[in-house]
Every structure is written in C-alpha cells, then in structure tokens.
C-alpha cells in the first residue's frame, strides 16, 4: 500500500473573509507517478525557542492545466489563485490527523504551463506565520490604525508620508490591497522652490514617519507671498446619501505666523457643496468652520489649531439636516446648521490640502455613511496619534498586528495576553511577522501555529509553568 493512501489534500475556493470555508478534494491530482507527491515540513525547530513557518510542497498533475493560475478555462477558475487556503490531513480508521494548514503561494515562473504540454507542477504553500512574513509591509504605525479601524466607511485616504512626493489615495474596496489612485498634485502660487517638502515635516508622537511640510513665504505683515497647496479631483466621486455623514479628518501641526487666508484642508462637491476649517479676513482674520450646501451656508467660530501642537481635526456634515460639526482633537464639539434647504444627498469630488498653511499635514481621510467616523473612533485615533501602541502587553501587540494583517478576532483566541509591556511601535516598512517577533522576544514566549493553522502565542508564564 502506498504510504500516501490515507492522505487527503484539499483547497478552499472561498475568500479568507469566509469564516467557515468550503473545501474541494484534489488528492487524486497529487498522486504523481514519481517520488512522494506531498512534502510537509513543520516549523518547530529541533533546538531553540523560535518556531519557524511550516511549509508544504505538492507535486500536482497539471496536464489539463487546471492548476495554472489565471487559466480562465480551468474548472477551478476564477477562485484558484495564490492566497487561497489549502490543507493536508491523514485519516486512520475514524480519526483525522492534521498534517498542514496554510495558504497557496505564487508559483515560480518556470512552473507555468505551456499550451499543449503535458506536465506536472510543484505547488508550494506556507502556514499563517509564513503568510504574515510575506504580507505587505506596513505604511506607518498610525496609518495601520487608520486603515484597520476605518472599515468600509473609510472611502479615501492620503497618508502624505511619502518623501518622494507621490500623494496616492488609497481606496479600500478590499482590505488587503492598497490601490493607488486619485493623486494629489501641487499647485504653485509664485515660485515653487522651498515652499513645501514631502516627507520632511514633523513626526507625530505616536507615529514613525514624517508628514508633508508646507512652508509659504510671507510678506512683512504676515500675508502670503508665495505658497503651494495640493489638490485632487477624485476619479470616483464620493456619494453621500440621505442620512449619511461625510467626514474630512486630518492631522495638522501649525506654525501660527500666517495672517491671511489659510485652509488646511477642504472638501468640495457638486451643488455648491464645501466643507472646510479656515482662517480668513486678512491680517485681523479669525478661524471658523465654513460650510456651503445648495445655496445655504453656515460659519461657525472656532479656535485656531494650537500653535506647534499635533492635533487631529475632523469636519463633518450630515444630510439632509445640514448639521456641521468640528471635532478638534479631544476638545468639546463645535456645531451649527446650514441655512436654507440643504440637499438630501450630495456628490463630493475635490480635495484641497495646505492652502496658505504653515506647518505639517498628514493622514488626510474621508469617511461617509450613516454615523460614519464615530466619536469613539475619533478619540481612539487621537490617542493612537500620541501613544503609538505604547504600553500594550506582548500578547496585545500580537493581536493588534494580526488584526492589521486581516486575521479575524475570532481566530486569535489562542494568543496569551502576555505580561511584558511593549514600547512604542515602529511599524514603517516592517512585515506583521517581523513585529510579532519583537513581541515574542520581549516576552520570552513562543509564537507558532497549531494543527488547524491558527496563530498561537505562549506567554512566558505558560512556557515555564506548564
């Protein structure tokens, strides 16, 4: 009898968001006529405490090209693709023993099928640790907080952290892919030299990457001489339905020297829709929240952003009530209502950033939906912008990183809380696994996966007291 007689190889066509996936048996295609068709390798080392990623290599009969990624004529199309779940287990009598559970890896280029050729192909897979190690690198500590907590109501986001000046907006139609679109471009008033510097502004206390510096040149009385601002026209305008609230949020650190029209950020839409916090009125001007809706308007007096202070600012408008609100960091809410008859819905398609502003702006966000961007979300982001995950225990840090990587909370019940406190996170350019390893080392614990492919973190208490 073949030693592989009792083995089963299955894959799931369902996306990773499906909590209870369906499975399809492909064992018959793994019974290649040469050598062992399945090569699982556990991630537990013989020596040392650090568990490595488990892997599996499978030799598949691909003579009909059903396992060729992107083959539209395959009976497995369109769901057969890298990242889908795959598992192997052994059945002895009425008992099942899990051998491997993980995710399909992209193929080597020489494994792609040639038309009309009879061939076998080698499919590789990694477990959850391996997938976390090959996940996209993180943008920054605060950016990951914003992306994860924004959910479906976060419809556009410009981090403004890129030092080369590429201000791409991430549209989160899917949680795993950052699609670059709707770039913000510079508009110059006067000579452009030295008026702004992407990635050269101040760094938020809870972040680890610099924002964009705006540095206008001023006349002797503080009025603007030359400056630059950024603007973008959205290729996919944002629709605000009746009952929806639209929110424009951003982080600003202002140097209060400009005595002229200053608009840190502004949202513009059809039917004469505008929403902004601005300083107007020349040298003796004051700050206000100004909103315009279908011929009506409101101007709400507001305190200026505190000088040289990092602040989260959120401007909100709800339709059809016309309610306009300013959430300035943790200050009390300032609100008013537009005059006239606000529309029941609106379409927003332009974003302006940094007009006449002197200082650093980063993390420009747009939310829309019924009750989108709640007060608790605002206060949580305000805290995150100052703490950067400081004070989490090791297990809490691992759970946070796993959730940033798209792992549902329900699959993290095997992560011990840990007892060692963590310092401020530095996530820029790191994979989720790399930062989890920092927590593992701090705790002197062990990070691994179990037979079901779930993430497991054994704290030092569990390791040394069991």
Q: What are the tens digits of pLDDT across the range 358-405?
A: 999 999 999 999 989 999 999 999 999 999 999 999 999 999 999 999
By mean pLDDT, which of 195-199, 352-356, 399-403, 414-418 is the weakest?
195-199
For residues 99 and 90, is the Cβ–Cβ distance under 8 A? yes
**Percent of the residues in the chain that have a pLDDT greater than 70, as a whole number:** 86
Assign 51 to helix, strand or coil: coil
pLDDT higher than threshold 70 for residue 187? no
For residues 250 and 201, is the Cβ–Cβ distance under 8 A? no
Task: Give the integer Cα–Cα distance in Å for 183 and 315.
Answer: 22
Binning pLDDT at 50, 70 and 90, where does residue 346 land? Answer: very high
Phi, psi of 392 (to 5 degrees): -65, 150
For residues 298 and 339, is the Cβ–Cβ distance under 8 A? yes
Burial 209-224 (b: 16+ CB within 10 A, else e): bbbbbbbbebeeeeeb
Binning pLDDT at 50, 70 and 90, where does residue 174 land? Answer: very low
Give the pLDDT confidence score for residue 111 in this predicted structure: 47
196-197 and 212-214 strand pairing: antiparallel
| The pair of three-digit structure tokens given for residue 337, joined into one six-digit string | 């209502």
Give the pLDDT confidence score for residue 117 in this predicted structure: 55
Provide mean pLDDT across the span 314-327: 96
Ranges 42-56, 256-270, 415-429, most confident: 415-429
pLDDT higher than threshold 60 for residue 22? yes
Task: Please give the radius of gyration of the chain, using alpha carbons only, rounded to the nearest integer.
Answer: 27
Binning pLDDT at 50, 70 and 90, where does residue 186 land? Answer: low
* CA 372 remoteness from chain centre: 17
* CA 204 remoteness from chain centre: 18
Task: Give the integer Cα–Cα distance in Å for 425 and 439.
Answer: 10
Quick: pLDDT tens for 72-95.
999 999 999 988 999 999 898 889
Q: How many CB atoms lie within 10 A of CB 230?
A: 25
pLDDT higher than threshold 70 for residue 338? yes
**Higher-pLDDT residue of 40, 50:** 40
For residues 216 and 356, is the Cβ–Cβ distance under 8 A? yes
Task: Assign 3-class secondary structure to 100-141.
Answer: EEEEECCCCHHHCCCCCCCCEEEEEEECHHHHHHCCCCCCCH
**Higher-pLDDT residue of 413, 135:** 413
**Higher-pLDDT residue of 166, 381:** 381
Give the pLDDT confidence score for residue 185 in this predicted structure: 58
Give the pLDDT confidence score for residue 131 in this predicted structure: 87
- Average pLDDT of the chain to the nearest whole number: 85
> Which residues fall within 8 angstroms of residue 434, CB to CB, at 6 or more apart?
133
By mean pLDDT, which of 46-55, 61-70, 303-312 is the weakest?
46-55
Give the pLDDT confidence score for residue 49 in this predicted structure: 53
Closest C-alpha among 93, 108, 86, 71 to residue 38: 86
pLDDT higher than threshold 80 for residue 177? no
pLDDT higher than threshold 70 for residue 115? no
Provide mean pLDDT across the span 232-244: 89
For residues 6 and 88, is the Cβ–Cβ distance under 8 A? no
For residues 275 and 315, is the Cβ–Cβ distance under 8 A? yes
Give the pLDDT confidence score for residue 306 in this predicted structure: 84
> Which residues fall within 8 angstroms of residue 146, CB to CB, at 6 or more apart?
154, 157, 363, 365, 381
Q: How many CB atoms lie within 10 A of CB 95?
A: 7
Q: Count CA atoms closer than 13 A to 388's CA, side-chain side.
A: 16
Q: Return the residue matching tokens 């990587």.
A: 405
Assign 377 to helix, strand or coil: helix
Binning pLDDT at 50, 70 and 90, where does residue 45 land? Answer: low
Provide mean pLDDT across the span 310-321: 96
Give, in order, the Cα–Cα distances in Å from 137 to each of 131, 140, 141, 294, 447: 12, 9, 11, 43, 20
Ranges 114-118, 342-346, 446-450, most confident: 342-346
| CATH 2.60.120 correct for 154-372 | yes
Instruction: Spell out the domain ranges in the chain.
Output: 7-126, 154-372, 392-458
């Amino acid at each position: 009898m073949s030693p592989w007689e009792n083995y089963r190889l299955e894959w799931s066509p369902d996306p990773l968001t499906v909590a209870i996936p369906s499975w399809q048996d492909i064992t018959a295609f793994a019974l290649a006529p040469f050598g062992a068709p399945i090569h699982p390798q556990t991630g537990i080392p013989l020596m040392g405490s650090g568990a490595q990623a488990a892997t599996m290599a499978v030799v598949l009969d691909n003579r009909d090209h059903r396992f060729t990624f992107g083959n539209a004529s395959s009976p497995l199309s369109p769901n057969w693709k890298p990242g889908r779940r795959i598992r192997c287990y052994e059945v002895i009598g009425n008992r099942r023993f899990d051998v491997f559970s993980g995710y399909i890896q992209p193929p080597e280029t020489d494994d792609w099928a040639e038309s009309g050729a009879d061939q076998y192909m080698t499919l590789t897979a990694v477990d959850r640790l391996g997938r976390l190690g090959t996940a996209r690198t993180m943008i920054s500590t605060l950016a990951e907080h914003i992306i994860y907590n924004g959910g479906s109501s976060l419809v556009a986001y410009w981090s403004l952290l890129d030092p080369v000046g590429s201000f791409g907006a991430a549209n989160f139609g899917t949680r795993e892919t950052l699609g670059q679109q709707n770039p913000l471009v510079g508009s110059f008033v006067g000579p452009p030299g030295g008026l702004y510097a992407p990635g050269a502004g101040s760094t938020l206390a809870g972040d680890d990457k610099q924002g964009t510096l705006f540095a206008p040149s001023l006349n002797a009385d503080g009025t603007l001489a030359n400056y630059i601002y950024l603007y973008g026209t959205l290729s996919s305008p944002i629709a605000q339905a009746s009952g929806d609230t639209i929110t424009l949020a951003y982080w600003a650190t202002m140097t209060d020297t400009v005595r002229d029209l200053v608009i840190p950020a502004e949202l513009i839409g059809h039917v004469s829709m505008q929403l902004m916090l601005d300083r107007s009125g020349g040298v003796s001007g004051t700050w206000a929240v100004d909103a315009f809706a279908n011929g009506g308007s409101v101007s709400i007096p507001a305190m200026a952003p505190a000088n040289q202070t990092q602040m989260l600012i959120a401007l909100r408008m709800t339709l059809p009530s016309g309610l306009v609100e300013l959430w300035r960091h943790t200050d009390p809410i300032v609100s008013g209502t537009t005059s006239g008859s606000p529309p029941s819905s609106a379409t927003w398609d332009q974003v302006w950033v940094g007009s006449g502003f002197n200082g650093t702006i980063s993390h420009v966000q747009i939310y829309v939906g019924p009750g989108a961007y709640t007060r608790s979300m605002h206060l949580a982001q305000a805290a995150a912008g100052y703490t950067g995950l400081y004070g989490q225990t090791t297990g809490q840090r691992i759970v946070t990183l796993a959730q940033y990587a798209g792992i549902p909370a329900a699959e993290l019940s095997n992560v011990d809380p840990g007892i060692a406190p963590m310092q401020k996170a530095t996530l820029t350019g790191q994979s989720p696994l790399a930062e989890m390893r920092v927590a593992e080392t701090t705790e002197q614990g062990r990070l691994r996966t179990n037979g079901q492919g779930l993430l497991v973190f054994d704290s030092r208490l569990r390791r040394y007291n069991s």
